[in-house]
Amino acid sequence: MAAVPISSRPVLFETRDHDRWGEYISGVYGSSIRLGSPKDGLLLRHTRLASTTFAIDDVQTVDMTYTVESLPTLTIGRHRAGTFDYRSEGAEHRFGPGEVFLLSKAEGGPPYWLRTPSGGLQGISVPFPVLGQVAATAETRHPEPLRFTDLRPGTRVAAQQLAATIDYLETSLRDRPEAMAEPLVAGAAGRMLAATVLNTFPNSALVDPTIEDRHDSHPVTLRRAMAFIDDHAHHDIGVTDIAAAAHVSIRALQYAFRRHRGTTPMDYLRQARLHHAHQELLATDPTTGVTVTEIAARWGFFHPGRFAAYYRTAYGCPPYRTLQRDGR
């Protein structure tokens, strides 16, 4: 799978050369992409904001056709104006301004043809392994590859939530690149986006536990999972890693936490990281210039306001007071 490049600032490419654009865009998306008319003379521009777990592209394009073999990452499209035409496997689709839609349903999917209108087009790339970190597919022991069953969102509300999530992450990448470069933040942000995508587009992931999952969701499972989280909270782990350590499926893990603790594995992980952030705030000399935001980001909290709210609930004061306390 092609790696998603890391960038703290937009990567800008622009050209009026038709062939150069084709070569460039094929390299960016890791696929064979053939361009139709028009030819040279019209300005084409590409900007990218990226982390290790997802990328957000903005393409200033013209009325042009593309034939794409397949993409190594799941790619969501959203364009600013005009009508976006799409064709694959004999089916034709037309998407209006502002709609979010998928460009493929599975990794290594069939070729497709599309026609972009003049104006801005946004493409959001999520590697399939990141999606797999939050998805449970049909078989407990031998999971099938994740597959989406519709290019369109399941509901209007889900589409709006996805658009809001994309906008939030785009702003975070642009305005807070240092925090977004932290491994735990990048991992958490990617999984948040992946979960929102899975909630938006119909797919083969299963949510409810099977009978086998329910049998696996006993207290021993919970203890294994909690011990793994406590020992690895400083690593970029997700629900897939926790389930593997507990030797159960993702659904069995989630059901064990819900049944025996009334919470989720990721909520327990957040509490463990909050504890570590608290310990670091206590141990840090505030005269060194280290900030609450930096410490929060190191422990996977990329939204300062939410970190402060979690912290106040757990420890009864804002985190900056802990950092500035006297008599350590």
User: Strand order of the sheet with strand 91-95?
Assistant: 33-35, 64-68, 112-116, 84-88, 91-95
pLDDT of res. 141: 47
Q: At residue 33, does pLDDT exceed 70? A: yes
86/79 Cα distance (integer angstroms): 13
What are the pLDDT digits (tens) for 148-168? 999 999 999 999 999 999 999
pLDDT of res. 143: 60
Average pLDDT on 136-141 reads 52
Q: Is the dihedral of CA 270, 173, 317, 324 positive or negative?
A: positive
pLDDT band at 38 (very low <50, low <70, confident <90, very high): low
Amino acid symbol at 2 = A
What are the pLDDT digits (tens) for 211-238? 777 777 788 999 999 999 999 999 999 9
The pTM assigned to this predicted structure is 0.84
Could you give the maximum distance between any two Cα atoms of the chain, in Å? 72
Average pLDDT on 173-189 reads 91
Superfamily of domain 7-180: Jelly Rolls (2.60.120.10)
Using DSSP's 3-state secondary structure scheme, residue 138 falls into: coil
pLDDT of res. 6: 46
Domain ranges of the chain: 7-180, 269-323
Average pLDDT on 165-183 reads 91
Q: At residue 120, does pLDDT exceed 60? A: yes
Task: Please provide residue 118's backbone torsions phi and psi, each rounded to the nearest 5 degrees.
Answer: -65, 140
pLDDT of res. 60: 85
pLDDT of res. 5: 45
What are the pLDDT digits (tens) for 265-323? 999 999 999 999 999 999 999 899 999 999 999 999 988 899 999 999 999 999 999 99
Options 2.60.40, 3.30.70, 1.10.10, 1.10.150; CATH of 269-323: 1.10.10
How does strand 100-102 pair with strand 73-79?
A: antiparallel
pLDDT band at 46 (very low <50, low <70, confident <90, very high): very high
* DSSP conformational letter for 233: T
| Residue 73 to residues 53, 104, 196, 306, Cα–Cα distance (Å) | 11, 9, 16, 30
